[in-house]
Amino acid sequence: MTTKYQILKLLEESDGKLVSGGDIAEKLSISRTAVWKQIAALQQDGYRIISEPSKGYLLQPSNVLSAYEIEKRLTTHTVARPVLYFPTIDSTNTYAKTHTELENGTVIVASHQTAGVGRLSRKFHSPEGQGVYLSILLHPDMIAMADISTITLLTAVAVVDTIEQLSGVRPDIKWTNDVYLHGRKLCGILTEATVEGESGVIRNIIVGIGLNLYQTYEDFAPEIRDIAGSVFSETGKKISAADYVACLSKNFERYYLDEHFPANKASFLQKYKDALFFLGQTVQVISVRETYMAVAEDIDENGCLIVRKEDGTVAALNSGEISLKIPR
């Protein structure tokens, strides 16, 4: 552990009492100036540390996202071990795709993305300090192409469980990859895979999850202001990003590893269906080829959306190229 985090740990363990610079210096065999420099670095990271001249330092409750803060909260065996944190990155999915040598379960987390991506190369707004953006890298043993889209559904259930556990409110799911609350999108999921050209074997899966945490409606860019929301705007709760990453890692691990995905498909698909907010309603189906109105009836065992068109015919929609619009 670096000196900076050794000092942080001493402050965390002080039970609300001031810790003198002299005591820290002695315990860690460093100079008081070195202590002071590390305290300044911690403050720079966002820790609220009060300094009382000639008495010492006091750590106040702080909301900081870092690998240290996530690791402190982790209860997983594989997911997020290790966890890599970047204050700013282009895209956590891009990082995972270009660093597939990292271990199975590695999680890449950022507080800000300069080139966050959604499906079909759409932009995912990832402003600094307003949300949390992460990717889980997986090296599956043997996995069918069709199961990749079901991982998106599994992830949506893990996200919904996590937000409920931390805020007390259970959000909804919009097929296929969005988490909503009060008709506003809080979270988007993008699952990608790398396939070996020769054999067609799927080598890596990258599950990217972006969550809006703290925005008010005015904070969103004009093009998404009417459709986007955050955990704060919809529940009034400011949950910590580190709590969220640790809790989501645990929930994902449970559904994906502990329950032996895809053997548990039926049970998480039922949870997925229970969270869908538009079953039984008329929706607009938008594909590259056509746009039409249909009643959303069910989700089948492969995660396809079953719709009944106006002429009475039934279709099973595969997620890839299709978007849904739900009339308000």
Residue from 117, 143, 160, 294 touching ligand BT5 (CB under 6 A): that is 117
Find the shortest distance in angstroms from Cβ 325 to ligand BT5. Answer: 11
Q: Does 99 bind ligand BT5 (CB under 6 A)?
A: no
11 or 248, CB closer to ligand BT5? 248
Among 38, 76, 212, 319, the residue binding ligand BT5 under the rule CB under 6 A is 212
Window contacting ligand BT5 (CB under 6 A); options: 67-75, 206-214, 247-255, 284-292: 206-214
User: Other C-beta atoms within 10 Å of 224: how many?
Assistant: 16
Identify residues 217-276 at the interface with ligand BT5 (CB under 6 A). 224, 228
Q: Is 190 in the site for ligand BT5 (CB under 6 A)?
A: yes
Distances (CA, A) of 215 to 81, 162, 182, 201, 327: 29, 19, 15, 41, 24
CB of 317 to ligand BT5, least distance (A): 15
189 near ligand BT5 (CB under 6 A): yes
Minimal CB distance to ligand BT5: which residue?
188
What is the rounded CA–CA span in Å between residue 23 and residue 264? 53
The one segment of 29-37, 205-213, 265-273, 305-313 that binds ligand BT5 by CB under 6 A: 205-213
113 counts as binding ligand BT5 under rule CB under 6 A: yes
Regarding 125 and contact with ligand BT5 (CB under 6 A), the answer is yes
Structural contact between residues 233 and 207, judged by C-beta atoms closer than 8 angstroms:
no
- Closest distance to ligand BT5 from the beta carbon of 115 (Å): 7
Q: Which CB atom, from 16 or from 222, has the smaller least distance to ligand BT5?
A: 222
Token pair belonging to 282 = 């008329």
| Separation between Cα atoms, residue 173 and residue 52, nearest integer Å | 49
Part in contact with ligand BT5 (CB under 6 A); list of ranges 28-36, 52-60, 182-190, 250-258: 182-190
Interaction between residue 122 and ligand BT5 (CB under 6 A): yes
Indicate which single residue of 42, 111, 119, 268 sits in contact with ligand BT5 (rule: CB under 6 A). Answer: 119
> Which of 108/307 has CB closer to ligand BT5?
108
Mark residues 65-94: x for contact with ligand BT5 by CB under 6 A, - for none: --------------------------xxx-
User: Quick one: which of 21, 105, 116, 171 contacts ligand BT5 (CB under 6 A)?
Assistant: 116
Q: By the criterion CB under 6 A, which residues form the site for ligand BT5? A: 91-93, 113, 116-119, 122-125, 133-135, 177-178, 185, 188-190, 208-210, 212, 224, 228
